Amino acid sequence: QQQVKQSPQSLIVQKGGISIINCAYENTAFDYFPWYQQFPGKGPALLIAIRPDVSEKKEGRFTISFNKSAKQFSLHIMDSQPGDSATYFCAASKTSGSRLTFGEGTQLTVNP
Amino acid sequence: GAGVSQTPSNKVTEKGKYVELRCDPISGHTALYWYRQSLGQGPEFLIYFQGTGAADDSGLPNDRFFAVRPEGSVSTLKIQRTERGDSAVYLCASSLNPGYGYTFGSGTRLTVV
């Protein structure tokens, strides 16, 4: 059962542009929503995370927008750079739970 | 070390053989997780340890998979009678608090031929 659906599967943007990746979840018990960045040959690295008591969280060029009623959240990367080229995963978990449920990933390419 | 260390980084084994994958978590992290990542997919949960005990092993696909963490630090994922479908990257992560704030290792790429 795919509890977290992510789109698009791949994304190409120009340097300086805005990259937007979307996720939707099914389980209303989820209350922690992180985004991970993964480079080839490396494990995922936590980028930014949000709890459902806020609708937006910003850290540098990265912003999460969260819509609890729609059960959707998105990652916005402002002023995208070639170094941002990587695979991005959204995920969700219950605070008191033991596991993260990941989306299928978005391969982002930022052209110089 | 400063990060989660996994060894070996690559493992090629023949179908039917037994393999062990090792994870050294960040010092002081009591929570340890194993995930499996197939090509082009997100990581899938396998098992979670809190201290020495397996708090949740519901992600293990079958009884050929087993994991231990005898002293609450290093963990070993064991796979018996390996099958070609077991080929994937096996990721280990640790955290101070269960459920979030994970730090992942670089993984072990297992190839069953």
Measure the CA–CA gap between A46 and A33, rounded to whole angstroms. Answer: 11
- From B14's Cα to the closest Cα of chain A, the distance in A is 23
pLDDT tens digit at each of 113 positions of chain B: 579 999 999 999 999 999 999 999 999 899 999 999 999 999 999 999 999 999 899 999 999 999 999 999 999 999 999 999 999 999 999 988 765 678 999 999 999 99
Measure the CA–CA gap between B50 and B6, rounded to whole angstroms. Answer: 18
**Average pLDDT in the A77-83 region?**
98
Measure the CA–CA gap between B49 and B94, rounded to whole angstroms. Answer: 9
Q: For position B96, what pLDDT does the model report?
A: 84
- In sequence order, the 6+-apart residues with CB closer than 8 A to the CB of A69 are none
Q: Test A41 with B100 for CB contact under 8 angstroms.
A: no
Contact A71, A14 (CB under 8 A): no
Nearest to A105 among B33, B41, B50 (CB): B41
Q: Looking at residue A103, what DSSP letter applies? A: -
**pLDDT above 90 covers what percent of chain A?**
85
Q: What's the full length of chain A, in residues?
A: 112
Instruction: Annotate B6-62 with three-state secondary structure.
Output: EECCEEEECCCCCEEEEEECCCCCCEEEEEEECCCCCCEEEEEEECCEEEECCCCCC
Q: Test A42 with B40 for CB contact under 8 angstroms.
A: no
Q: What are phi and psi of B86, to 5 degrees?
A: -80, -10
Q: Test A97 with B99 for CB contact under 8 angstroms.
A: yes
B25: closest CA among B106, B97, B88, B103? B103
Mean pLDDT over each residue of chain A, to the nearest integer: 93
**Average pLDDT in the A91-111 region?**
88
Q: Test A43 with B93 for CB contact under 8 angstroms.
A: yes
Q: How many CB pairs below 8 Å do chains A and B form together?
A: 66
Neighbours of B36 (CB within 10 A): 21
A24-69, pLDDT tens digit by residue? 999 999 989 999 999 999 999 999 999 989 999 999 999 999 999 9
